């Protein structure tokens, strides 16, 4: 097998994968959009009529359909401009990996500071909260079913979301990078029998989503005001605000930086 043949095979595979991804993304968005579904049904019917017109040699119908096919794409762009814009915006916001890796040290510290400040208020006033920080594993399936926000992380916004009588109070917030992506998200509850029966649905949901992904689940108890964190199915209960800050900074640190810090620490200990 020559080098040129290998290169051609790889190029064709890349080409097929790009086309497959594009079709998959389009079909997935069509499924969730009634207007786009009806549009593609209409295009499919027109295609069948065009084939029948060519087969039966129907000149007038065939000519009209040719004009429709010629100018149809321009008309569709004008008619469905809002849907196309929304799809492009959604594509721009799509993340294959968690965005915490791209955050600078100052951005991580600012984000953690806002979260801790919000938890301090929630803890003091015994307001229940569930905050999920996405990492490498995508939580898109939960984001799609929740209320989209995509706003800067601030303590005031987090407090207002979980404030009593707010319609989004009972759901969870998902954070991607330094943005609050959605609120009112619903997560699967853990069925682990080792979990204490004293823990409510909010804690079980936090543990459940941490079992399914590598996210960080932060919980503020509505009954006691205690703060907890669930990571990889393990719950750290009744944390202080300083403990919360330290854990978040460590867990949100990119792996490369964390490994370098460990190497430097080992070197200092050896000295």
Break the chain into its structural domains and give their ranges.
3-93, 99-257
Residue % of the chain over a pLDDT of 70: 80
126 versus 35: the higher-pLDDT residue is 126
171-185: average pLDDT: 92
29-55: average pLDDT: 73
Measured between alpha carbons, how far is 97 from 201 in angstroms, rounded to an integer?
28
60-75: average pLDDT: 79
Closest residue by Cα to residue 162 from 110, 201, 121, 134: 121
Lowest mean pLDDT segment, chosen from 72-81, 86-95, 149-158 = 86-95
98 versus 2: the higher-pLDDT residue is 2
174 backbone dihedrals φ, ψ, rounded to 5°? -110, 130
Q: Is the pLDDT of residue 93 over 60?
A: no
Counting beta carbons within 10 angstroms of the beta carbon of residue 30, is it exposed (0 to 12), middle (13 to 18) or buried (19 or more)?
middle
Q: Find the largest Cα–Cα distance for the chain.
A: 90
pLDDT tens digit sequence for 221-245: 999 999 999 998 899 999 999 999 9
Measured between alpha carbons, how far is 5 from 77 in angstroms, rounded to an integer?
40
> What does the mean pLDDT of the chain come to?
81
Closest residue by Cα to residue 239 from 90, 91, 123: 123
Give the SS3 label for residue 239: strand
**CATH classification (class only), 99-257:** alpha beta
pLDDT band at 130 (very low <50, low <70, confident <90, very high): very high
pLDDT band at 69 (very low <50, low <70, confident <90, very high): confident
pTM of the model: 0.60
Give the pLDDT of residue 54.
82
Contact between 29 and 90 (Cβ < 8 Å): yes
Burial 47-72 (b: 16+ CB within 10 A, else e): eebbeebeeeeeeeeeeebeeeeeee
């Amino acid at each position: 097998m020559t080098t040129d043949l290998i290169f051609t095979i790889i190029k064709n595979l890349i080409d097929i994968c790009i086309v497959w991804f594009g079709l998959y993304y389009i079909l997935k968005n069509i499924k969730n959009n009634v207007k786009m579904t009806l549009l593609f049904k209409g295009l499919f019917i027109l295609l069948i009529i065009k084939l029948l017109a060519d087969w039966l040699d129907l000149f007038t119908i065939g000519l009209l359909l040719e004009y429709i096919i010629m100018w149809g794409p321009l008309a569709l762009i004008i008619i469905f401009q809002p849907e196309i814009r929304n799809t492009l915006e959604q594509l721009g916001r799509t993340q294959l990996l968690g965005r915490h890796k791209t955050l600078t040290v100052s951005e991580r510290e600012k984000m953690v500071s806002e979260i801790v400040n919000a938890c301090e208020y929630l803890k003091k006033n015994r307001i229940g909260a569930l905050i999920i920080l996405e990492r490498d594993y995508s939580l898109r399936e939960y984001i799609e079913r929740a209320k989209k926000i995509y706003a800067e992380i601030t303590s005031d916004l987090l407090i207002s979301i979980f404030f009593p009588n707010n319609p989004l109070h009972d759901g969870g917030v998902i954070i991607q990078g330094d943005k609050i992506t959605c609120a009112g998200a619903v997560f699967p509850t853990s069925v682990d029998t080792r979990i204490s029966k004293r823990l409510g649905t909010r804690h079980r949901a936090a543990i459940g989503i941490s079992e399914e992904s590598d996210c960080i689940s932060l919980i503020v108890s509505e009954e006691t005001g205690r703060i907890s964190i669930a990571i990889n199915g393990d719950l750290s209960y009744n944390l202080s605000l300083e403990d919360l800050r330290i854990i978040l900074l460590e867990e949100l640190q990119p792996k490369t930086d964390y490994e370098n810090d460990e190497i430097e620490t080992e070197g200092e200990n050896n000295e």
